[in-house]
Amino acid sequence: MAPVRSEARLGLLLLSALSLLSARLVGAAQDPGTAIPAESRPCVDCHAFEFMQRALQDLKKTAYSLDTRKLFKASLQTA
């Protein structure tokens, strides 16, 4: 179970780093002094929530495949 936890932690760390980098890139792309009207801006909370949902699904799929692979190896060793 420890490898799954360490991979989950690594995945969360990677997602955090990517989100920080993307936030900085988006902020750097805008000219200083220009404001985007609130009506044309996407809902930041909604996009962040969707992003984190997809990331969580990816982590669950990875954990499931690792568990399946572990069970398969265990069944081969007992056979």
Cβ count near 4 (within 10 Å): 15
Confidence band, pLDDT 50/70/90 cuts, at residue 57: very high
Q: For residue range 2-50, what is the model confidence (pLDDT) as tens digits? A: 566 777 777 777 777 777 767 665 555 555 667 767 676 667 677 788 8
The confidence score (pLDDT) of residue 25 equals 56
pTM of the model: 0.40
The confidence score (pLDDT) of residue 23 equals 63
Question: Token pair for residue 72?
Answer: 């398969």
Is the model's pLDDT at 64 over the cut of 80?
yes
Amino acid at the residue 12? L
Is the model's pLDDT at 75 over the cut of 80?
yes
